[in-house]
Each structure stands twice: as structure tokens, then as C-alpha cells.
């Protein structure tokens, strides 16, 4: 029987997942459900999906063997509850969400052991299906977060789909995932949003943004990311984010102190250490 995949939330990531599979020879049907009619139309027009709907109930029409949750993470639990009675007993489900941890265990409780968490470490500040790219996942890490209950066949199926996108698989504990990505992804986004807020506050007499150069633009590029997506990530990974932000504020306070006290050598050391760390990143 022909494979069929349903993407719920046909945006940048869901669209890229579809295009990547198609580019690499996936011959099954790809359907989509989104809350917005115009997005469904656009996704069809772009060849991301063959058919689509704005009604979750239409899961029964599409009869997918795989469902991919690709909407903001704050919507996953309620979508999972709604689709659970509508999908077949053998339907495998995954998600593309940036947060795993407790969310994975909740989704597993709702959807059963054929649910497999995944998080592609790929993306940009762009959102919307219009920005979907077939090459988005090529050579990029794809984190899969099975638990001890995850069905082996479901895991194999999701891993196989990801391999077809050109992604490189890595397996990780869901809780560890949130600690790691809280630090290397969620905090930098929080800091970038906050910096824009601070510069905005100081722009009451002179528009400081008019004078921003490449450094400012590089540093704050990610503050152009989708607010709903990031609100959901911050709230879903709240504990790790707050812990990591506290450590960040200590580092900032240390830097402040060294400048305040004009500790030239220690300040150089602090900056040199950070530079060496940054330069060593691959």
C-alpha cells in the first residue's frame, strides 16, 4: 500500500520536511492540516502537500500512516488529544518541536508508544511555508528522543524518514535535550529579544537602530523569529531557561564588575577565554 503522511501545521519546518522527503524519493501522499485556509492553499500551490484541510477531523479522510506535528509546541497536547481517537492503531506520530522533556512524556501518555519525539537542529529566523526548503536538513543534526516505552518499529520508521531528508541522527534523553537546548538555543534567543527591547527603550531621543552595524545585525538576527513559536518554547522549557538565564546574568555581572573596576588584565582574560571558546566552535 502507498505510504501517506499528514503534516499538522504546514509552516516552514513542516513544509521543509515534505520538500526534503519528496526531493529524496518519497513517493507516498503528503497531506496537510493547518488552522489557516490561505496556508493550506499556499502549501498546495507550492507542492508541499497534495491535499489539505483546516479541520482536524479530516485526519479520518487522509488516513495517514505517519502524522507529523509541526505547529508551535504549545498546541501539541491539545492536537494530540483531538487526533488520538481519529488515527489508526498503527499510525506512527512524530513532532518537530524545539522542546522535548515533559512534553515528550505527555505526548506519549496521550498518543501511546508509537509516538517518537524529534527535533531537527536546522532552521532560520524565517517562518511560514513560503520559506520551506528541500535542503534544510542536509547534514544537520536530527535529535530523536525515544523513551524506554517507545515502540522499536515506530522509532525505525521515523529514523528512516529523517535519514531520507539528509539529516544526521542523534539519540538523546528528552530531559537532557531540554537542558542542552535551553542553554545553546533558548537562552540566546531570549537574550537577542531582550537586547532589542533594551535598545528600543534607549531610542526615545535618537533612533539607535539606524546606526546598527553588522555586529548588531549578526547578534540579533534570531530576534526576527516568530513570537508565537518562541513564546511557546520559553514557557514549555521555563525551568531550564530560567536556570540558564541566571547563570548568564552572573557572567554579565562579572563582566560589568571588571569594567566598573577597570581590571584591565582580568577583563582581557575574560574576553580571551570567550574568544577562544567561540573560535573553537565548528
Determine the 3-state secondary structure of 212 from DSSP.
Answer: coil
Determine the interface stretch with ligand NAD among 85-93, 120-128, 243-251, 271-279 (rule: CB under 6 A): 120-128
Site for ligand NAD (CB under 6 A): which residue of 35, 46, 195, 196? Answer: 35
Cα(200)–Cα(142) distance, integer angstroms: 36
Between 99 and 258, whose beta carbon lies closer to ligand NAD?
Answer: 99
Q: Using the rule CB under 6 A, which residue among 5, 6, 7, 10 binds ligand NAD? A: 10
Contact in structure between 174 and 117 (CB atoms under 8 Å): yes
233-260 burial code (b ≥16 CB/10 A, e <16)? bbebbeebbeebbeeeeeeeeeeeebee
Handedness of CA 99, 101, 103, 109 (dihedral sign): positive
As measured in angstroms, the least distance from the Cβ of 79 to ligand NAD is 6
CB of 280 to ligand NAD, least distance (A): 24
Query: Do the beta carbons of residue 235 and residue 74 sit within 8 Å?
Result: yes
Candidate residues 21, 34, 52, 161; the one interacting with ligand NAD per rule CB under 6 A: 34
Q: How far is the CB of 34 from ligand NAD (least distance, A)?
A: 4
Smallest distance, ligand NAD to C-beta of residue 74, A: 8
32 binds ligand NAD (CB under 6 A): no
- Select the residue whose beta carbon is closest to ligand NAD and give its number: 11
- Give the separation between CA 80 and CA 106, rounded to whole angstroms: 10
User: Binding string to ligand NAD for residues 189 to 228, with x set by CB under 6 A, is what?
Assistant: -------------------------------------x--
- CB distance 121 to 143 below 8 Å: yes
| Binds ligand NAD by CB under 6 A, chosen from 6, 7, 13, 92 | 13
Helical packing angle, 238-260 and 264-279, nearest 10°: 140
Helix axes 238-260, 227-236, angle to 10 degrees: 100
- The count of residues interacting with ligand NAD (CB under 6 A) is 30
Q: Is 162 exposed, middle or buried (0-12, 13-18, 19+ CB in 10 A)?
A: buried
166 binding ligand NAD? (CB under 6 A): no
Q: Locate 188 and state its grid cell.
A: 540566546
Asked if 31 is part of the footprint of ligand NAD (rule: CB under 6 A), the reply reads: no
Nearer of residues 46 and 255 to ligand NAD, judged by Cβ: 46
The CA distance from 140 to 133, in Å, is 13
Range 39-98, binding ligand NAD (CB under 6 A):
39, 70-73, 75, 79, 96-98
* 127 near ligand NAD, judged by CB under 6 A: yes
Q: Which positions lie near ligand NAD, rule CB under 6 A?
A: 8-14, 33-36, 39, 70-73, 75, 79, 96-98, 119-120, 123-124, 127-128, 226, 229, 233
Amino acid at each position: 500500500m502507498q505510504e501517506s503522511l499528514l503534516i499538522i501545521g504546514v509552516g516552514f519546518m513542516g513544509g521543509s520536511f515534505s520538500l526534503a522527503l519528496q526531493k529524496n524519493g518519497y513517493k507516498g501522499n503528503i497531506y496537510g492540516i493547518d488552522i489557516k485556509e490561505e496556508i493550506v492553499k499556499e502549501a498546495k500551490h507550492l507542492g508541499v502537500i497534495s491535499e489539505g484541510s483546516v479541520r482536524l477531523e479530516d485526519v479520518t479522510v487522509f488516513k495517514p500512516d505517519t502524522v507529523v506535528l509541526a505547529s508551535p509546541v504549545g498546541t501539541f497536547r491539545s492536537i494530540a488529544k483531538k487526533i488520538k481517537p481519529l488515527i489508526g492503531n498503527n499510525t506512527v506520530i512524530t513532532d518537530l518541536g524545539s522542546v522535548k522533556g515533559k512534553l515528550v512524556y505527555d505526548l506519549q501518555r496521550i498518543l501511546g508508544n508509537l509516538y517518537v519525539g524529534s527535533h531537527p537542529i536546522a532552521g532560520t529566523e524565517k517562518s511560514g511555508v513560503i520559506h520551506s526548503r528541500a535542503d534544510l536538513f542536509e547534514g544537520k543534526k536530527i535529535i530523536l528522543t525515544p523513551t524506554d516505552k517507545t515502540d522499536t518499529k515506530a522509532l525505525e520508521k521515523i529514523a528512516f524518514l529523517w535519514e531520507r531528508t539528509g539529516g544526521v541522527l542523534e539519540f538523546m534523553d528528552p530531559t537532557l535535550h531540554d537542558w542542552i537546548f535551553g542553554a545553546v538555543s533558548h537562552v540566546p534567543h531570549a537574550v537577542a529579544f531582550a537586547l532589542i527591547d533594551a535598545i528600543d527603550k534607549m531610542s526615545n531621543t535618537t533612533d539607535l537602530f539606524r546606526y546598527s552595524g553588522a555586529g548588531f545585525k549578526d547578534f540579533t538576527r534570531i530576534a526576527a523569529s516568530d513570537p508565537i513559536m518562541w513564546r511557546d518554547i520559553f514557557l514549555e522549557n521555563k525551568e531550564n531557561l530560567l536556570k540558564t538565564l541566571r547563570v548568564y546574568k552572573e557572567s554579565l555581572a562579572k563582566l560589568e564588575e571588571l569594567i566598573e573596576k577597570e581590571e584591565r588584565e582580568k577583563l582581557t582574560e575574560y574576553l580571551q577565554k570567550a574568544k577562544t571558546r567561540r573560535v573553537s566552535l565548528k
